[in-house]
Amino acid sequence: MPHRCRRHGRPVVLLLALLAVHVPAHSQGEAGDISRLIDALELAPGAIVAEIGAGDGALTLSLARHVGASGRVFTTELGDERLKTLRLAVGKADLSHVEVVEARATSTNLTASCCDAIVMRDVYHHFGDPTAMNASLLASLKPGGHVAILDFAPPPGKESDTAAGRSRDGHHGVGREAVSHELVEAGFTEISSRPLDGRRFMVVGRKP
């Protein structure tokens, strides 16, 4: 059954969507990424956050500490072993407002119109079916909700012609323009698109 993001007072609800990936060295600026996400989405204590594909849970735990015990964090992964690793990390941190949820490859696995914002970090280029995932992201947002995507471009001249090829060696990454185009095609309105350090970028969209 889908997991519901419940409201506590008047929190901002966020979905941080990150599929399980090995993040390249240039994207290890954890503190910088957290700062960007907090600023872009005006993430405040008391917010409800969901991260999909959280890996070892480092970002989940940092965000959970930021939103505090008055907030709530849903964190997800794919596969039994990854879920086990994530649960161990969350349990060790002893943060009772974090809940581990099993992810889906083409769905947020969250209730429709649950979230005020969705974030992905170094994940979008791993979507084998971005059309399906973008539709699910849009459905998971309330009207006016935002999506923020942190990702990185492939080597110059190596962008894949297909979504399935974006995670292949030599083509690893996705272009900023492709992300913007696919979000708009899914029904989002583009708010901003800007380069970051190296090949990295951030695209922010809004559900009408």
Question: 42-97 pLDDT, tens per residue?
Answer: 878 888 877 777 878 888 898 889 889 998 888 878 889 999 999 999 999 999 99
What's the whole-number mean pLDDT along residues 177-198?
Answer: 96
CB atoms near residue 109 (< 10 Å): 18
Nearest CA to 99 out of 83, 113, 119 is that of 83
- pLDDT band of residue 123 (cuts 50, 70, 90) is confident
Residue 118 contacts residue 207 (beta carbons within 8 Å): no
The pLDDT of residue 104 is above 80: yes
Encoded tokens for 50: 């969901």
> Is it true that domain 13-206 has CATH number 1.10.1060.10?
no
**In sequence order, what E strands does 63-188 have?**
72-77, 98-102, 115-121, 141-152
The pLDDT of residue 24 is above 50: no
Half-sphere exposure of residue 47: CA atoms within 13 angstroms, side-chain side: 25
The pLDDT of residue 25 is above 60: no
Among 10-14, 122-126, 196-200, name the most confident range. Answer: 196-200
* Residue, of 32 and 135, whose pLDDT is higher: 135
Residue 115 per-residue DSSP state: E
* Residue, of 139 and 119, whose pLDDT is higher: 139
Helix, strand or coil for residue 194?
strand
How confident is the model at residue 162, as a pLDDT? 93
Choose the weakest-confidence range: 7-11, 138-142, 144-148.
7-11
- pLDDT band of residue 23 (cuts 50, 70, 90) is very low
pLDDT digits (tens, 9 = 90+) for 143-183: 988 888 989 999 998 999 899 999 988 889 999 999 999 99
Has this prediction a pTM greater than 0.85? no
* Residue type, position 41, single letter: L
What's the whole-number mean pLDDT along residues 121-138?
Answer: 90
